Amino acid sequence: TQVTHLSSPVQVLSGQGAERPLQGLRQAALAAGEPLPEIFLDPAYAQATHFRLCTLQVRSREGSWLLRGPLVPDGY
């Protein structure tokens, strides 16, 4: 299905985004001391997960805040 600008945040907020489960699998392999599956060694995966700009919005009754530091050396 086509991902639209509005449906992507809804998927992420409901736990259906793609990057978090993949990151969990990657971290599980590292924690178990097992070799990483090939998908994590592919240059396309590295490019797809290289987020130069990363923000996190925290909403509350008092307002919202944007929090996050760089995730990659050339990020901000």
Task: Indicate if 36 and 14 belong to the same structural domain.
Answer: yes
Per-residue model confidence as pLDDT tens digits over 20-60: 788 889 999 999 999 999 999 999 998 888 888 876 666 77
Task: Indicate if 32 and 6 belong to the same structural domain.
Answer: yes
Task: Indicate if 60 and 27 belong to the same structural domain.
Answer: no
In a domain, 46, yes or no: no
Sign of the CA dihedral 3, 7, 10, 14?
Answer: negative
Task: Give the domain range for residue 71.
Answer: 51-76
DSSP code, position 72: S
Prediction pTM value: 0.56
In a domain, 4, yes or no: yes
Q: What is the pLDDT of residue 30?
A: 95
List the alpha helices (DSSP H) in 4-64: 7-13, 19-31, 43-48
**Token pair in block for residue 60:** 């509350």
**Higher per-residue confidence, 19 vs 67:** 19
Total structural domains within the chain = 2
Distance CA 71, CA 26 (A): 16
Q: What is the pLDDT of residue 67?
A: 64
Task: Indicate if 9 and 36 belong to the same structural domain.
Answer: yes
Task: Indicate if 1 and 37 belong to the same structural domain.
Answer: yes
